[in-house]
A and B are shown apart, each in its own frame.
Chain A
Amino acid sequence: MPRAGPTARPSVEALLRALAPQVLGTVVRRSGGFDAAEDAVQEALVSAYRHWALYGVPANPRAWLTKAAMRKVVDRARSDHARRRREELAAASPPPGGSASGEDDTLTLLFLCCHPVLTPTSAIALTLRAVGGLTTSEIANAFMVPEATMAQRISRAKQQVKASGVPFQMPAGEELAGRLDLLLHVLYLIFNEGYTTSRGEGLYRVDLSAEAIRLARAVRERVPHDGSVTGLLALMLLTEARRAARTTPLGELVPLAEQDRALWDRRLVEEGVALAVQAMSQGPTGEYQLQAAISALHDEAATADQTDWPQVLALYGVLEQMTANPIVTLNRAVAEAMVHGPAAGLALLASLDERLAGNHRLYAVRAHLYEMLGDVPAALDNYRAAADKTMSLPEQHYLTARAARLNAAGPTRATGRIPQTSPPRPTQTPSREERLATTRGKPFGPV
């Protein structure tokens, strides 16, 4: 179903998306079936796009959508020859002029769409449709699959939800924490999907990162005192803040250390930092809070050299205690190198050979540290290994370009084979470590 296109005012679209989960909640409660309700609301949204673009937004948009969706649910029941059902539904319609009860089912719906019975992929697709209010076409476009394929994915997800017998209600008690974790994980996955730079910016392509932020804000509005919720939103904002600086106009990757910080979104940084601070005071410290705190330290530094690496290192240490994730250790090795020199970072990487064998990120970090150390052949070998293994094209280009730059600037041991003699000393520019050594002890930059 085509979107309203460039002539639809953005506010209509935003309004529809905000109303979608609320209307769905109402329709599910009245009709008792999530599957049929979701289809009906989706059809009502499509109708609304058309009608409101032509005739303007109605006085009570929520009631309009609810009525349209309920009518479609009744129609379907009619075609199903369930006569008694029809009468039940007709009796459940709101009195004219009455708006919906005002109850807000957004969170309940989110929990339903992020249910553990679903695969992450299904949960993502269902969340974007039922809670995000995106059309199937928009979601298909965002993930670059045909619309029919995405429609099937959503349909199967709904069937799984139905088959699992999940009730339409908030999880309670001991179940709540785990379900919330899963919900946040799904939002994090959606955010990261939007963060993939290899996808071009299509004219009507939905910004998944923005969508994830919008949903995270919705969760925080309703769950304001949970450190993980606040932490995740902070992390998203702090990451999104750097977006404009992450790629050149040609789509080439720019590493954090080389980004033009004037391009960072100051408002997002400020909000993200404030939320990161708040998250740390909200209950037991979890992964999202720590990652947000680390991100805040990066975003607060006026220049890369002013980054509070000792504090970053300390936080990675805490994060490492909390998770068994070798990628955390990998990141800690970078911080280790920035504080204690590249040799210390490389020593830490040695412990990851088994756990991250064949993982391109291990080679990429090792290459970077060897470059810091001045071991050009070892750095080149690792850049090459990383470039061969990465599944991201922009990253491959970046690694190759970096290796080429190193190869051109460094001593002429062009074969890149690991030398039998000691590594060459750095020549022209001082190594990062040497530069750092002279700046350590300077007062921390402006906040």
Chain B
Amino acid sequence: MTKFMLLVNYDGGVVAEPMLSWSPGDIKAHLAYYEALNQELTASGELVDHQALAWPETSKIVRSDGRAAPLVTDGPYAEAKEQIAGYTVVDVESVDRAIEIAARLSAVPGPGGTPTQQPIEVRQFMDGQTVDL
């Protein structure tokens, strides 16, 4: 089995409106979709971890040369849409399965139940086996 991190960012896919402007019912459906998917992945023995990260404006950027006090500035410093919002780590038989799960994440419903098609990045863990060299 191989581990992959599936990264979600703030690119809303085909949905332009921020979640604040959705109906409460739509927000609930959105969260329920994620919850159901996580339960399914736990039941299948594939879920390793899933986390949402705090809002980027709360993030800090830290720079240090190891000697002077570090320089700490408020984040974000990358393009807002590309900020990581959260991640799911899965342990699966193949990259195809990781992609399949990523597709499920991408299809999470937005306003009116429309699938958002949010872009999900699939990154493999570098915990691969080594061989005698």
Contacts and interface: CB of A to CB of B under 8 A. Distances in A.
B46 interface: yes
Interface residues of A, number: 37
B69 interface: no
Interface in B82-133: 91, 93, 124-133
Contact of A395 (B42, B43, B124, B130): B130
Contact of A156 (B1, B45, B93, B128): B45
Interface in B14-65: 42-49
Nearest to A247: B130
A394 B48 contact: no
Contact of A361 (B1, B46, B126, B131): B131
A193 B2 CA distance: 11
A115 interface: no
B101 to A, nearest CB: 14
Interface in A231-278: 239, 242, 246, 253, 255-256
A145 interface: yes
A119 B93 contact: yes
Nearest to B2: A391
Interface residues of B, number: 23
A196 B45 contact: no
Interface stretch (A147-155, A219-227, A369-377): A147-155
A393 B126 contact: yes
A196 B127 contact: yes
Nearest to B47: A149
B130 A256 contact: no
Contacts of A255: 132-133
Contact of A242 (B2, B44, B46, B132): B132
Contacts of A154: 45
B132 A256 contact: yes
A191 to B, nearest CB: 11
Contacts of A361: 131
Contacts of A121: 1, 93
Interface centre among B93, B124, B127, B130 (most CB of A within 10 A): B130
B124 to A, nearest CB: 6
Given A242-B132, A253-B133, A361-B131, A396 B44 contact: no
A119 B45 CA distance: 13
A143 interface: yes
Residue from B48, B49, B129 with most neighbouring chain A CB atoms (10 Å)? B129
A391 B1 CA distance: 13
Looking at chain A's contact residues, is the secondary structure mostly helix, strand, loop, or mixed? helix
B4 to A, nearest CB: 11
A153 B1 CA distance: 12
A152 B128 contact: no
Given A143-B1, A145-B91, A149-B91, A198 B132 contact: no
Contacts of B133: 253, 255-256, 364, 395, 398
A390 interface: yes
A27 to B, nearest CB: 24
B126 A391 contact: yes
B131 A152 contact: no
Given A146-B49, A156-B45, A196 B132 contact: no
A130 to B, nearest CB: 16
A197 interface: yes
A253 B130 contact: yes
A99 B106 CA distance: 58
B3 to A, nearest CB: 8
A152 B44 contact: yes
Contact of B45 (A153, A239, A253, A396): A153
A195 interface: yes
B50 to A, nearest CB: 11
A152 B42 contact: yes
A195 B133 CA distance: 13
Contacts of B128: 196, 198, 390-392, 395
Given A143-B1, A395-B128, 15 more contacts: A145-B91, A146-B47, A149-B45, A149-B46, A196-B127, A196-B128, A196-B129, A196-B130, A199-B127, A253-B130, A255-B133, A392-B128, A392-B130, A393-B127, A396-B126
Interface of A: 119, 121, 125, 143-146, 148-150, 152-154, 156, 192-193, 195-199, 239, 242, 246, 253, 255-256, 361, 364, 390-396, 398
Closest 7 CB pairs of A and B: A153-B45, A391-B128, A255-B133, A392-B128, A152-B45, A393-B126, A392-B130
